């Protein structure tokens, strides 16, 4: 079997090249045989046409009986070859490849030998007729290169019976009509030379065919490996997302209870001796809540459920407000705050998301700068606003400048201490910038500081009235002292964990609400059959595969006017999409006291409006 190692494989070990060669060669021979079987009719038609032409010429120089015998011989050879060709594919399973190749080579040899016999008849023909015969046979030999893809064994056994007799007849000046000696030798030499050229051309054709097939196989294998690697990466990413969602949910559940109990302690005005402990407890809960919120933000951004709500805002007022927010922390570290924001530029953006981006960058600048200054600069470059956040901190090494935008990557926090966060701040910044089509560039040098440039579309004047310049409250600001609000609401709490139900019920009672509890949909319906709630606060994930969304739907069949609030510790993409589709306000564990009273305030206002209409 003819073997070849393509050049791109030559540097590979023999243990790898050998199986590649075997596979490639086997496939090359199979495809060559398939091509022969597919194009069998065209090939036979060409050989038979040549036989008819030669028979017509031979009738002038030989008895009709001899011509008929030759024609029958050619037809028999072609029929045998056709039978072999049509069986090449049908016998692919039962016959070995070597056996089918030998049969194919034998059929090719017999086909060319039958055509070569015409040379005996045409020896008596004039030189011109002999030349025509020579051209016909050489044409058949030339066309067979493409037809057989230059396959060495089958092609050579087909070509040699056509070319060698011709070369000998011309070179030895055999026949009735002899030509000049030098001319006959020259023609014989030319025929032999042409045969050698065809021999080499066929070998090159087969080599190119095999190499091309090897390259295709290599590309297919690499594509398959890439596809497998991508599938594995996607599976790993999905597993990571699910793990984060499960871990986040499991951590949020007890933290949610602690948050509720801490809010109760604050509302009960703890004594001075206990106030410091309560405040420390609140600080820890807030810190853990921020880290879980970062996980939730990543899940929201990856799942595509985060909605961008754009409005015109005055970038000058917006950035000045953010700068003043960070000024106390900078003063506490003896750092200078430079806010170079003059004039008014207007941009159409989501104010809350843009504030999150700038806060994260300012927080990093504050965190990693121990002396010098932090600067916030706004400038206009044609129709682009450029927001610069600069610091004189320690800077970022070149080898880390791409890694800092990866999830959970932290420089100099090998121990992963809680105070350093989870390393999600810049990952969130990058995703938010992509979501809002903000170009972000970073330059940094060790010991010289870091600069982030945010480039966004802006105009000197807004197209519509600008939004309020009030800055969205930072989720990283410590909780303020809680004033005691009071509500006149009947609230049904649905949660399958007794501690959560008890904690939420106590907190609601501290807020003046009449609270009832249930752990399943059946219990909730039983309560609602005797008592009409104004608000249902339902945990999303209940026991026995029940959900808070199903609970709200069933309760609203009894009381359509009820206000619903969904509470969840889930951050997986499918759950976030379900919350979005349900259209219910969703509070994520641990529930912020401010967010809870905000939703209760809306429910109270809705109830008051309904009562006033009645």
CATH number at residue 489: 3.40.50.2300
Whether residue 231 lies inside any domain: the answer is no
Which CATH number does the domain housing residue 356 bear?
A: 3.30.565.10
The confidence band for 16, taking pLDDT boundaries of 50, 70 and 90, is: very low
Q: How confident is the model at residue 477, as a pLDDT?
A: 37
Per cent of the chain over pLDDT 70 is 75
Q: Is the peptide bond before 439 cis (omega within 30 degrees of 0)?
A: no
Whether residue 208 lies inside any domain: the answer is no
Same domain, 75 and 12: yes
CB 92 within 8 A of CB 103: no
Q: How confident is the model at residue 299, as a pLDDT?
A: 62
Q: How confident is the model at residue 113, as a pLDDT?
A: 85
Query: What is the pLDDT averaged over residues 362-376?
Result: 88
Same domain, 588 and 607: yes
Q: How confident is the model at residue 537, as a pLDDT?
A: 94
Domain, as residue range, for 37:
7-179
Q: Is it the case that residue 175 has pLDDT exceeding 80?
A: no
Q: Which of 165-179, 230-244, 400-414, 519-533 is predicted with the least confidence, judged by mean pLDDT?
A: 400-414
CB 98 within 8 A of CB 53: no
Residue that the structure tokens 């199979």 belong to = 30
Q: Could you give the CA distance from residue 426 to residue 365 in angstroms, rounded to a whole number?
A: 12
pTM attached to this predicted model? 0.43
Q: What pLDDT digit, counting tens, does each position of 247-290 carry?
A: 666 666 777 777 777 777 777 765 666 676 777 777 667 666 66
User: Which stretches of 540-591 are assigned E, i.e. beta strand?
Assistant: 563-568, 586-588
Q: How confident is the model at residue 181, as a pLDDT?
A: 74
Same domain, 528 and 578: yes
Same domain, 62 and 156: yes
Q: Which of 100-109, 167-176, 561-570, 589-598 is predicted with the least confidence, judged by mean pLDDT?
A: 167-176
Phi-psi bin for 11: left (phi > 0), alpha (psi -120 to 50), beta? Answer: alpha
Whether residue 526 lies inside any domain: the answer is yes
Q: How confident is the model at residue 226, as a pLDDT?
A: 85
Same domain, 260 and 320: no
The more confidently predicted of residues 351 and 575 is 351
Q: How confident is the model at residue 270, as a pLDDT?
A: 55
Residue 414, helix vs strand vs coil: coil
Domain end point (choices 179, 202, 221): 179
- Residue-level length of the chain: 614
Q: What pLDDT digit, counting tens, does each position of 442-457 carry?
A: 888 888 888 889 988 8
Same domain, 491 and 446: no
Query: What is the pLDDT averaged over residues 291-305?
Result: 62
Q: What pLDDT digit, counting tens, does each position of 457-498 carry?
A: 877 666 555 555 555 544 433 334 445 678 899 999 999 888
Whether residue 60 lies inside any domain: the answer is yes
Whether residue 109 lies inside any domain: the answer is yes
- Which element (helix H / strand E) includes 123? none
Mean pLDDT of the chain: 77
Whether residue 195 lies inside any domain: the answer is no
Domain end point (choices 129, 148, 179): 179
Same domain, 512 and 486: yes
Q: How confident is the model at residue 478, as a pLDDT?
A: 39
Per cent of the chain over pLDDT 90 is 10
φ/ψ (deg, to 5) at 189:
-65, -40
Same domain, 315 and 301: no
The confidence band for 300, taking pLDDT boundaries of 50, 70 and 90, is: low
Same domain, 123 and 246: no
Q: What pLDDT digit, counting tens, does each position of 23-55 carry?
A: 778 788 777 777 777 766 666 677 778 778 877
Same domain, 156 and 20: yes
Same domain, 321 and 294: no
Q: How confident is the model at residue 482, as a pLDDT?
A: 46
Number of domains in the chain: 3
The helix-helix angle for 14-38 and 181-267 (nearest 10°) equals 120
Q: Which residues contact 210 (CB under 8 A, 6 or more apart)?
A: 2, 4, 6, 24, 25, 28
Q: Could you give the CA distance from residue 45 to residue 82 in angstroms, rounded to a whole number?
A: 11
Whether residue 2 lies inside any domain: the answer is no
The more confidently predicted of residues 318 and 423 is 318
Same domain, 544 and 566: yes
Q: What pLDDT digit, counting tens, does each position of 109-158 carry?
A: 888 888 888 777 767 677 787 788 888 888 888 888 877 778 888 888 88
171-176 CB contacts, 8 Å cutoff, 24+ apart = 174/123, 175/123, 175/124, 175/125, 175/130, 176/123, 176/124, 176/125
Whether residue 223 lies inside any domain: the answer is no
Q: How confident is the model at residue 460, as a pLDDT?
A: 67
Domain end point (choices 423, 457, 491): 457
């Amino acid at each position: 079997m003819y073997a070849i190692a393509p050049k791109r494989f030559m540097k590979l070990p023999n243990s790898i090249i050998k199986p590649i060669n075997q596979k490639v060669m086997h496939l090359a021979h199979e495809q060559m045989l398939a091509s022969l079987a597919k194009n069998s009719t065209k090939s036979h038609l060409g050989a038979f046409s040549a036989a008819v032409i030669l028979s017509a010429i031979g009738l002038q120089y030989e008895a009709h009986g001899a011509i008929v015998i030759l024609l029958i011989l050619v037809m028999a050879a072609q029929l045998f070859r056709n039978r072999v060709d049509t069986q090449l594919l049908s016998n692919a399973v039962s016959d070995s490849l070597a056996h089918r190749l030998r049969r194919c080579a034998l059929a090719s040899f017999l086909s060319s030998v039958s055509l070569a016999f015409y040379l005996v008849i045409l020896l008596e023909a004039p030189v011109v007729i002999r030349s025509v015969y020579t051209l016909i046979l050489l044409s058949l030999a030339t066309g067979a290169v493409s037809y057989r893809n230059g396959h060495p064994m089958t092609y050579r056994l087909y070509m040699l019976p056509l070319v060698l007799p011709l070369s000998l007849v011309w070179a030895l000046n055999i026949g009735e009509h002899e030509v000049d000696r030098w001319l006959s030798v020259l023609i014989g030499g030319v025929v032999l030379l042409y045969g050698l050229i065809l021999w080499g051309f066929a070998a090159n054709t087969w080599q190119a065919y095999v190499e091309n097939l090897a390259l295709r196989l290599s590309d297919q294998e690499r594509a398959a490996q890439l596809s497998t690697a991508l599938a594995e990466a996607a599976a790993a990413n999905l597993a990571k997302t699910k793990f984060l969602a499960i871990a986040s949910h499991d951590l949020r559940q007890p933290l949610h209870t602690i948050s509720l109990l801490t809010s109760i302690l604050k509302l009960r005005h703890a004594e001075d001796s206990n106030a410091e402990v309560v405040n420390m407890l609140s600080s820890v809960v807030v810190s853990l809540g921020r880290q879980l919120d970062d996980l939730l933000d990543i899940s929201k951004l990856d799942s595509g459920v985060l909605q961008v709500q754009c409005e015109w805002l005055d970038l000058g007022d917006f950035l000045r407000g953010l700068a003043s927010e960070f000024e106390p922390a900078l003063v506490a570290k003896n750092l200078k705050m430079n806010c170079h924001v003059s004039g008014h530029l207007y941009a159409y953006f989501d104010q809350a998301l843009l504030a999150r981006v700038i806060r994260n960058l300012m927080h990093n600048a504050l965190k990693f700068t121990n002396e010098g200054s932090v600067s916030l600069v706004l400038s206009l470059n044609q129709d682009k606003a450029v927001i610069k956040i600069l610091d004189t901190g320690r800077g970022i090494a070149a080898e880390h400048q791409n890694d800092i935008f990866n999830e959970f990557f932290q420089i100099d926090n090998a121990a992963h201490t809680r105070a350093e966060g989870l390393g999600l701040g810049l990952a969130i910044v990058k995703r938010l910038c992509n979501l809002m089509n903000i170009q972000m560039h970073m330059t940094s040098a060790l010991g010289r500081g870091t600069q982030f440039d945010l480039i966004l579309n802006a105009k000197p004047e807004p197209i519509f009235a600008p939004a309020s310049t009030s800055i969205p409250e930072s989720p990283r600001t410590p909780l303020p002292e809680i004033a005691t609000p009071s509500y006149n609401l009947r609230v049904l709490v649905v949660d399958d964990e007794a501690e959560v139900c008890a904690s939420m019920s106590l907190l609601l009672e501290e807020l003046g609400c009449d609270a009832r509890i249930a752990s399943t949909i059946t219990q909730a319906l039983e309560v609602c059959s005797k008592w009409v709630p104004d608000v249902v606060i339902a945990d999303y994930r209940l026991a026995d595969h029940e959900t808070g969304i199903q609970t709200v739907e069933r309760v609203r069949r009894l009381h359509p006017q009820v206000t619903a609030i969904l509470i969840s510790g889930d951050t997986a993409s499918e759950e976030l999409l379900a919350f979005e589709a349900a259209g219910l306000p969703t509070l994520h564990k641990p529930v912020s006291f401010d967010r809870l009273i905000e939703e209760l305030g809306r429910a109270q206002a809705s109830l008051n409006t309904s009562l006033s209409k009645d």
